[in-house]
């Protein structure tokens, strides 16, 4: 009879730790692939997700100068002739968030081979007394684009149309437009390096893709979309609204498609519907982390990830000040683990 060897007890611990680590890696990978609101794997319904073959391009829906209350002066807008335009969706009372961005990544004028300008897009405040403060802020920084609509969650789609329309009319020569929320830490050098690999000749729509998301039919939800407005059971592919990138060639095409798409109040869905109508397939870029939040870590924020969501002004300043701008912040082992390490940090922070 064969006698199986008996392993010393000390041999089991490394095997157990390795097994736990392997399981965690598999679970995190699956969680990443299926993360996001109401998402499933693409393979469940691949034909549905293919883009429309595209319709004849309509004239872009462009705003007039009367549609804006505050605008940067022509000198402030064209002084650097940006090829990478960053438009930050903000609200009138988020003064601290805007200042945090100005004093960190938003102050950059170059990223890789791109010239960069960052502007903030907002609507009218509910409190009329805030308007005078916004006018003073605009005069000082020359970076506010204010539309003539009430700044509410329900008007986010209108705000998105406003920012794309302003970009198309005032910055027609841009190579890329980046739309971000004002609680995003944006890794501009990393993003510029990524965008150098993308052609601007083909309309491009980049971000963290939401797969097989369905309309919220709960009338009590702020994401409510009635069947009368959008009767289909699922949305086509779209990128998370926290941050996404459009090529300059895509912007007027999406503005043209907006004439034919229902004005759903969920702005990232609306952009996805416009892209679907125009035949533009979203491209998944995992390092643009969408709505995911990661604990402050210089290596993740400044090198591995291209964006981080839900970053407070204090966290933004702390991460920015923790290292010299554009200096390598990852140790060799941290860089080797890369995206997986950052996902693990986020996973452990949620425990």
Residue 176 has pLDDT above 90, yes or no: yes
Residue 158 is predicted with a pLDDT of: 94
Report how far residue 19's alpha carbon sits from residue 1's, in angstroms, rounded to the nearest whole number. 30
Residue 11 is predicted with a pLDDT of: 44
Report how far residue 20's alpha carbon sits from residue 122's, in angstroms, rounded to the nearest whole number. 47
Q: 72 in helix, strand or coil?
A: coil
| pLDDT tens by residue, 17-70 | 445 445 444 444 444 433 433 333 232 333 334 456 667 777 777 787 789 999
Q: 128 in helix, strand or coil?
A: coil
> Is the CB of residue 256 less than 8 Å from the CB of residue 58?
yes
Structural domain boundaries in the chain:
48-284, 292-351
List the structure tokens of 130: 């805030």
| Second-level CATH architecture of 48-284 | Alpha-Beta Complex (3.90)
List the structure tokens of 235: 């949305």
Report how far residue 100's alpha carbon sits from residue 96's, in angstroms, rounded to the nearest whole number. 6
| pLDDT tens by residue, 255-312 | 999 999 999 999 999 999 999 999 999 999 989 988 888 999 999 998 999 999 999 9
Among 293, 317, 320, CA closest to 305: 293
The span from the first CA to the last CA of the chain, in angstroms, equals 48
DSSP letters along 23-44, please?
HHHHHHHHHHHT-STT---GGG
Question: Could you give the angle at the alpha carbon of 320 between the alpha carbons of 316 and 325, nearest 5°?
Answer: 150
> Is the CB of residue 231 less than 8 Å from the CB of residue 274?
no
Report how far residue 304's alpha carbon sits from residue 342's, in angstroms, rounded to the nearest whole number. 8
**Residue 29 exposure: Cα atoms within 13 Å on the Cβ side:** 6
């Amino acid at each position: 009879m064969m006698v199986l060897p008996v392993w010393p007890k000390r041999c089991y611990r490394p095997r157990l730790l390795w097994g736990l680590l392997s399981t965690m890696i598999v679970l995190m990978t699956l969680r990443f692939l299926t993360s996001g609101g109401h998402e499933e794997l693409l393979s469940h319904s691949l034909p549905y997700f293919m883009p429309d073959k595209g319709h004849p391009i309509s004239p872009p829906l462009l705003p007039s100068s009367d549609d804006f209350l505050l605008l940067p002066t022509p000198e402030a807008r064209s002084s650097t002739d940006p090829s990478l335009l960053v438009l930050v969706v903000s609200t009138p009372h988020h003064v601290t968030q805007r200042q945090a961005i100005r004093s960190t990544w938003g102050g950059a004028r170059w990223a890789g081979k791109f010239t960069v300008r960052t502007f903030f897009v907002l609507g009218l405040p509910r409190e009329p007394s805030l308007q005078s403060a916004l006018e003073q802020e605009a005069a000082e920084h020359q970076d506010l684009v204010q539309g003539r609509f009430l700044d509410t969650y329900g008007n986010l789609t209108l705000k998105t149309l406003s920012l794309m329309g302003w970009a198309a009319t005032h910055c027609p020569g841009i190579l890329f437009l980046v739309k971000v929320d004002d609680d995003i830490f944006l890794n501009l050098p990393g993003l510029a390096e990524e965008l150098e690999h993308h052609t601007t000749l083909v309309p491009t729509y980049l971000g963290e893709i939401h797969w097989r998301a369905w309309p919220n039919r709960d009338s009590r939800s702020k994401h409510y979309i009635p069947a009368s407005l959008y009767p289909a059971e699922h949305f086509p592919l779209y990128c998370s609204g926290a941050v996404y990138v459009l090529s300059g060639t895509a912007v007027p095409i999406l503005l043209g498609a907006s004439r034919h798409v229902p004005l759903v109040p969920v702005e990232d869905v609306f952009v996805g519907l416009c892209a679907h109508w125009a035949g533009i397939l979203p491209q998944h870029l995992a390092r643009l982390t969408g709505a995911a939040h990661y604990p402050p870590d210089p290596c993740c924020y400044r090198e591995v990830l291209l964006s981080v969501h839900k970053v407070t002004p204090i966290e933004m300043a702390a991460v920015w000040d923790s290292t010299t701008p554009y200096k390598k912040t990852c140790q060799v082992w941290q860089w080797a683990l890369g995206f997986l390490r950052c996902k693990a940090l986020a996973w452990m922070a949620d425990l």
